[in-house]
Structure 1
Amino acid sequence: VIGGVYDRFYAERCGTRSRVYPAVRETLAALRAGGVRLAIVTNKEHRYTDRVLAAHGLAEAFDRIVCGDTQPTRKPDPAGVLGCLRAFGITPERALFVGDSAIDVATARAAGVPVWLLPYGYNMGQPLQDCAPDRIVDDLSALLAPQAEAAA
């Protein structure tokens, strides 16, 4: 009973109180304008992911969205990332996984993809440095810096 009530409550409010972090819109637009293919690989259920993206007008920014309930395995299994790489026709070393948690680092490592972490999000209180990403960046605009091109 409680699970059903929670699901209805979350479904009604999902995305209504969240905010887009600084530099996200501008960075996504610049990357797309530069021809970069973008994907989301999340453990969040598809119905909630769609709702959050729609609430913030971000769904069109992504070429591919892989959710926790749209395939047999979830992160840190690399299947979602590997599927994106295949769909985009690129090798792991030509991609960059940007995340915010140890699960994201484990996922990227399992897929052979470099990984950068952002200091916001959900990491169960664990310091980001302990996750051993390739880089920790302050915000998404770091992807537009010249060194980002060399790292990706």
Structure 2
Amino acid sequence: MMERIFDLMLFDLDGTLVETAPEIMDAVNDTLDRFKLSQVTQQQVNDWIGHGTQALLVQALADRSGMTVEATRRSELLRQMVPVYDGFYRQRCGTRSHLYPHVRETLLSLRAQGVKLAVVTNKESRYTRVVLDVHQLRDLFDEVVSGDSFASKKPDPVGVAHCLEKFGVARERTLFVGDSSIDAATARHAGVAVWLLPYGYNMGQPIEACAPDRVIADFSSLPGSGFAA
């Protein structure tokens, strides 16, 4: 049997495990419609994903209202929009999202080999739970760290540090798998290896610009996937 390279693998959620952008756009546009604002495009939403729901709504509202980003963050309108979006996203979640290639079989293979698996996402826990449940992923992970699990979120490495401590795994035996510069910075701050996927949401920038340890086409390239040589 090939020697195991990593004892702990950490995964971003949106754009890494699950393609969620279409239904996120639907919920954003549902919300904008409710407040009589014009809709945004899929590409805009793709470029805004990564820093959590609040940041996404700030960008969408600033773009549609003409307010500055700073004014939008302080606005009463934003405060009103957050719970409305919450309701729409719960309705939309799972309607137009799907797992990326080889995700489920790779996670099952890694678990069978004894690799500890965790999600580290900036998505709020109320949404993270829904996405994982809809796609029947929650039982495949030993730990889930969401954007509101700690006082700060990625690229702060607190979530990674939490997992390292919980599982007692050394940094050199840990891999972070993501799709953005946020994930790359998180891994670098935590001192762990980072492999990035090119199909997710990286604010419109080429993934190679993040200088990861490796760019992989999909989950079949992960060690222990059952596909990787």
TM over 0.5: yes
Matched, 1:71 2:150: yes
Partner of 1:120: 199
Q: For this pair of structures, how many residues does the alignment match?
A: 147
- 2:218 aligns with one of 136, 139, 149: 139
Q: C-alpha distance in 2, partners of 1:39/1:69? A: 16
Q: Equivalences for 1:21-100 in 2 at 5 Å? A: 21-100=100-179
Q: Show CA shifts across 1:45-77 (max 9, x none).
A: 001011001001010110000000111110000
Q: In terms of mean alpha carbon deviation, does 27-36 or 14-23 score higher?
A: 14-23
Structure 1 counterpart SS, 2:133? helix
Q: C-alpha distance in 2, partners of 1:47/1:17? A: 18
Task: Note if contact 1:16-1:55 (Cα within 8 Å) is conserved in structure 2.
Answer: no
TM-score (norm 2): 0.62
Q: C-alpha distance in 1, partners of 2:115/2:196? A: 19
Identity of aligned residues (%): 61
Q: C-alpha distance in 2, partners of 1:16/1:54? A: 13
Task: Note if contact 2:109-2:224 (Cα within 8 Å) is conserved in structure 1.
Answer: no
Q: Show CA shifts across 1:89-133 (max 9, x none).
A: 111111000000000000000000000001122101110110000
CA apart distance, 1:3: 2.9
Q: Unmatched 5+ residue regions in structure 1? A: none
Q: Which has the higher contact order (CA 8 A, sep 6+)?
A: 2
Q: C-alpha distance in 2, partners of 1:138/1:145? A: 15
CA RMSD of aligned residues (A): 1.5
CA apart distance, 1:17: 1.4
Q: Unmatched 5+ residue regions in structure 2? A: 1-79
Partner of 2:93: 14
Q: In terms of mean alpha carbon deviation, does 43-52 or 3-12 score higher?
A: 3-12
Runs (4+) off by over 3 Å = none
